[in-house]
Amino acid sequence: MAPMLVAWAAAPDAFFYGVLTYGATAPHAWYAANGAFDELGTLEKLTDLLKYLWKGPALVALLLLCANWIATRGRIRSPGRRLAIWMTGGALIGAALPTPSQVQYVMPLLPPLALALGYLLDDARRWTFTRRQALLGLLCLAAIPGMLAATRHVVAMLRAGSPVLQADAGARWAGASVRAMGGGDIATLSPHMILGSGLDLDPRFAAGPFAYRTGWTMGPVLARQVHAMIPATLGDMDRDPPAAILTGYEHGTRKLPMRPDDGLIAYARRHGYRMLSMPDGVGRLYLRTGRFSLSRND
């Protein structure tokens, strides 16, 4: 609690927007702008949650736990068993509450689920041999969907190399390219792509794409108060232009087709930045040159 009070006292406007306002408004605004507001409905969220659970044995494990709980409802349960069940239920509710649903929200469910499953396996020692074999076979089969995707990733990595190492190599290349032009900070909506570059991130882009892509929900006045960058305040970069601009990683998806990077690309082209293709063929690195020109509206 104390760190939160310190953050609120230091920057109350930024605190309230980042902690309260953003979570309550920005996801809905972003999905609505992309024509995907229906994806935030209860039915869609539950469907996504089931899909995430199906990617591994979690869904089958939950069903088995429920069945065992019903079958042994007359038994006196130990405090540890009750705690494992309550923790599993709480984690499942926690995974279902956020909007929109994301697969990473299921991760806190896995530790208590594994603990509760351990109690189930302890019960299985008193089952018949056939029931025990059926239980183990079902759990093994349930693990296959998750293993298929993992196997594809491993095969792709063996063929083309680790994407993590490739991203790090790309970041180092970007850092060397910027330093060759004199150095400086870099502006990007994809700060995770420059972690190994050794470059300083323009602090106005510390929030990555999140505050920027729903900038109309905060407006220029609040954006300047909380030191955030939104499309309406891109012209403010003229007073302290970044040495480089990295784009290409926020170019929309099938579900969310809007392209937040387009504003940065237009800014870079309008101000005479020189474009270099990133080694991965996806990103575009724009380097400031001596031909930098101010916006006509400034």
Taking only the tens place, the pLDDT of each residue in 14-51 is 888 888 899 889 999 999 999 999 889 899 999 999 99
Residue 274 three-state SS: strand
For the chain, percent of residues with pLDDT exceeding 90: 70
Beta strands in the chain (DSSP E): 186-188, 244-247, 274-277, 284-287
Virtual torsion, Cα 222, 223, 224, 227, nearest 10 deg: 120
Q: Is the pLDDT of residue 149 over 90?
A: no
**pLDDT-based confidence at residue 7 (cuts at 50, 70, 90):** confident
What type of residue sits at position 49?
L
Handedness of CA 121, 125, 127, 133 (dihedral sign): positive
Query: Model's pTM, two decimal places?
Result: 0.84
Q: What is the DSSP pairing of strand 284-287 with strand 186-188? A: unpaired
What tokens appear for 152 in the block?
A: 């594809």
**pLDDT-based confidence at residue 283 (cuts at 50, 70, 90):** very high
Q: Say what the pLDDT of residue 292 is.
A: 64
Distances, alpha carbon 221 to alpha carbons 1, 181, 232, in Å: 29, 34, 10
Mean pLDDT of 252-275: 95
The pLDDT mean for the chain works out to 91
Q: Say what the pLDDT of residue 233 is.
A: 96
197-230 confidence digits (pLDDT tens): 999 999 999 999 999 999 999 999 999 998 999 9
Q: Is the pLDDT of residue 275 over 70?
A: yes
Q: Which helix (H) or strand (E) holds 3?
A: helix 2-10
d(CA 222, CA 215): 10
